[in-house]
């Protein structure tokens, strides 16, 4: 079933993985698929390296999911690709049997000042989505940023850009991570007021180590979340992160989220730890 049709039929529970940087490690990812397959995720999304640096593994991993009977949601970014290059890659995905795609602009290469589309390329995800929509039968999703995309001058401009993405053909949207559910619920309210009616799936990042905070993801870190990680006891930090993510997810389901997309960072233990409570809540929402 396509992801938009699934979203009409049920609350979805899905995972995101990334192609490992080293070739040998792809086998480790396939072992993750074996471990999570019994959970029957509604789909597994596969990130795409900006500039197409991991096209080969990205395609192989997508095909592996198809062969396991798991719906793949390949991400696709248009950084550095002109229309012919986009077409060649999308033809290959369509021929392999892919039916759903997460279409993104992507980030500028490290060190670049701002995003520069190549000649005959795409400046915005909405342009890429319109291009795909006109030529392929893919069901298309896009990204959204409850705390605003870092390049946007303000939240209103970002919301207007998001509406363009939906008008171009995005039928569902998956969020950037956030750690305060009020951020998501308030964004959903504003999006509905702005006329964005498609499902807005929260993307949840179960943080398993204090090392997460070494990077800046431009998202808010509530003190009770940040303060729960001590950095001195990895097992306690992992348990705190899983517990926080589980509470976040259950609260989102209670408030009517159309699904949950878990950024599990290729860790089957994270998926296996969180799944039972979330699946039970979805199966019996009033329990
Ligand atoms: C769920 C999710 C998955 C992701 N997966 C990947 C991945 O696999 N690989 C990867 O490299 N990156 C990934 N990213 C990161 C993403 O590529 C970056 O955040 C990128 O900077 C923006 O991509 P976008 O598709 O949201 O772009 P856009 O929707 O084009 O937005 C980018 C900026 O341009 C503005 N904008 C958009 N349209 C217009 C317009 N018409 N006029 C004026 N301004 C406009 C927006 O407000 C925003 O500030 C992901 C992000 C999310 C949330």
Tens of each residue's pLDDT in the chain, 287 residues: 899 999 999 999 999 999 998 777 999 999 999 999 999 999 999 999 876 778 999 999 999 999 999 999 999 999 999 999 999 999 999 999 999 999 999 998 888 888 999 999 999 999 999 999 999 999 999 999 999 999 999 999 999 999 999 999 999 999 999 999 999 999 999 999 999 999 999 999 999 999 999 999 899 999 999 999 999 999 999 999 999 999 999 999 999 999 999 999 999 999 999 999 999 999 998 76
151 is catalytic: no
Please give the pLDDT value at position 105: 97
pLDDT recorded at residue 265: 97
Determine the distance separating the centroid of ligand 1 and the alpha carbon of 287, expressed in angstroms.
37
Residues lining ligand 1, Cβ inside 6 A: 47-48, 50, 75, 77, 104-107, 124-126, 142-143, 149, 151-152, 157-158, 161, 164-165, 174, 176, 203
Total number of residues shown for the chain: 287
Domains of the chain with CATH codes? 3-283 (3.20.20.220)
Among protein residues, the one with the nearest Cα to ligand 1's atom 34 is: 124
CA distance 260 to 178: 12
Strands in the chain per DSSP E: 12-17, 43-46, 72-77, 100-104, 139-144, 170-175, 200-201, 203-204, 259-263
Q: Which residues of 43-54 are buried (b: 16+ CB within 10 A; e: fewer)?
A: bbbbbbbbbbeb
- Residue 40 contacts by C-beta under 8 Å, 6 or more apart in sequence? none
Burial of residue 117 (number of CB atoms within 10 Å: 0-12, 13-18, 19+) = middle
Q: Which of 16, 27, 224, 239 is catalytic?
A: 16
Q: Is the Cα dihedral 47, 125, 110, 175 positive or negative?
A: negative
The pLDDT value recorded for residue 159 is: 98
What is the reported pLDDT for 114?
86
Q: How close is the Cα of 123 to the center of ligand 1, in Å?
A: 10
Global confidence as pTM: 0.98
The string of DSSP letters for 232-260 reads S-HHHHHHHHHHHHHHHHHHHHHTT-SEE
In contact, 117 and 83? CB cutoff 8 Å: no
Q: Residue 44: what pLDDT?
A: 98
């Amino acid at each position: 079933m396509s992801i938009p049709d699934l979203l009409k039929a049920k609350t979805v529970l899905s995972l995101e993985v990334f192609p490992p940087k080293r070739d040998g490690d792809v086998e480790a990812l396939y072992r993750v698929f074996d471990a999570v397959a019994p959970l029957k995720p509604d789909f597994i999304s596969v990130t795409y390296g900006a500039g197409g640096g991991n096209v080969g593994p990205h395609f192989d991993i997508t095909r592996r999911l198809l062969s396991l009977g798991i719906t793949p949601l390949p991400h696709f970014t248009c950084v550095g690709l002109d229309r012919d290059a986009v077409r060649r890659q999308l033809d290959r995905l369509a021929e392999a049997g892919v039916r759903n795609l997460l279409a993104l602009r992507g980030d500028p290469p490290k060190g670049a000042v701002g995003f520069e589309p190549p000649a005959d390329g795409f400046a915005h995800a909405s342009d890429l989505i319109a291009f795909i929509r006109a030529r392929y039968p893919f069901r298309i999703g896009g990204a959204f940023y409850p705390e605003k995309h870092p390049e946007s001058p303000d939240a209103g401009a970002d919301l207007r850009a998001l509406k363009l993405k939906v008008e171009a053909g995005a039928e569902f949207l998956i969020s950037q991570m956030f750690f305060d559910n009020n951020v998501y619920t308030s964004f959903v309210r504003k999006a509905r007021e702005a006329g964005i009616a498609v499902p807005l799936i929260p993307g949840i990042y179960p943080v398993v180590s204090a090392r997460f905070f070494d990077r800046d993801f431009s998202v808010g870190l509530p003190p009770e979340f940040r303060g729960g990680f001590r950095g001195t006891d990895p097992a306690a930090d992992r348990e705190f992160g899983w517990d926080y993510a589980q509470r976040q997810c259950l609260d989102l389901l209670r408030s009517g989220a159309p699904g949950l997309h878990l950024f599990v960072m290729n860790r089957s233990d994270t998926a296996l730890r969180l799944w039972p409570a979330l699946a039970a809540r979805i199966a019996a929402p009033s329990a």
